[in-house]
Amino acid sequence: METSIKGEYPMETSSVSRIRFTSTYQFDCYREGELVWTDTNDNLVVNEGLELALDSIFGTMEHPKFYLGVIRNNAPIQPEDTMSSHSYIEFTGTTNIYRPKCNFEKGALVGNTWYYIATDVQCMISEAGRIFGAFITTGELKGGEAGTLYGAAMMSGSRDVVPGDALLVSVTVKATG
């Protein structure tokens, strides 16, 4: 038997739902209309992302808007990462001054997991470079440290991008009980 947070009421382990938040990022890079590479990887929902999720459900926070940032270095994602304190560097070589918005749509319940999906969040590449992953934040300004970091994912390896590439990232967020 486990005890509750305040230690007042014992809880049976078998009847406790252990909610788990995860996300999967699918990266597709198109060059002159042709798919040149693809990569799929899971992310880490960071501590402040977990707090944001619970605050949005049970607290007083309104439903936040989410934006996608692209990572340009190979850096570990840590649970304590925030928008103002992390080891990755944002790739800012895209055509817009703002990060592209993630428009999540309700997916389905499969087994004991709910899915929400933001399909084909588009980043138009304006500078040649190498990218390593992506992150989701409530901060809209590209390169900025404002907002709350939900989570980040590194790709299975680095990938080169050139001006004119269209990077389409689909993000599936999941909650399993």
Q: What is the mean pLDDT of residues 18-31?
A: 92
Instruction: For residues 25 and 44, give the distance between their C-alpha atoms in angstroms, rounded to a whole number.
Output: 11
pLDDT value at 10 more than 70: no
Contacts of 78 by beta carbon, 8 Å cutoff, 6+ apart? 44, 46, 86, 87
pTM here is 0.86
Per-residue pLDDT band for 137 (boundaries 50, 70, 90) equals: very high
Cβ atoms of 88 and 75 within 8 Å: the answer is yes
- Could you read off the pLDDT of 43-101 as tens digits, one per residue? 889 999 988 888 888 888 788 999 999 999 998 888 999 999 999 999 999 999 999 99
Per DSSP, the three-state class of 76 is coil
Residue 15 pLDDT: 63
Nearest to 66 by CA among 167, 159, 171, 174: 171
Report pLDDT for 58: 86
Residue 127 tokens read as 């500078």
Q: Is 108 helix (H, G, I), strand (E, B) or coil?
A: strand
Which residue is associated with the tokens 């501590």? Answer: 47
| Mean pLDDT in residue range 129-147 | 95
CA–CA distance, 14 with 45 (Å, rounded to integer): 25
Separation in Å, CA 163 to CA 55, 123, 160: 39, 11, 10
User: For position 1, what pLDDT does the model report?
Assistant: 46
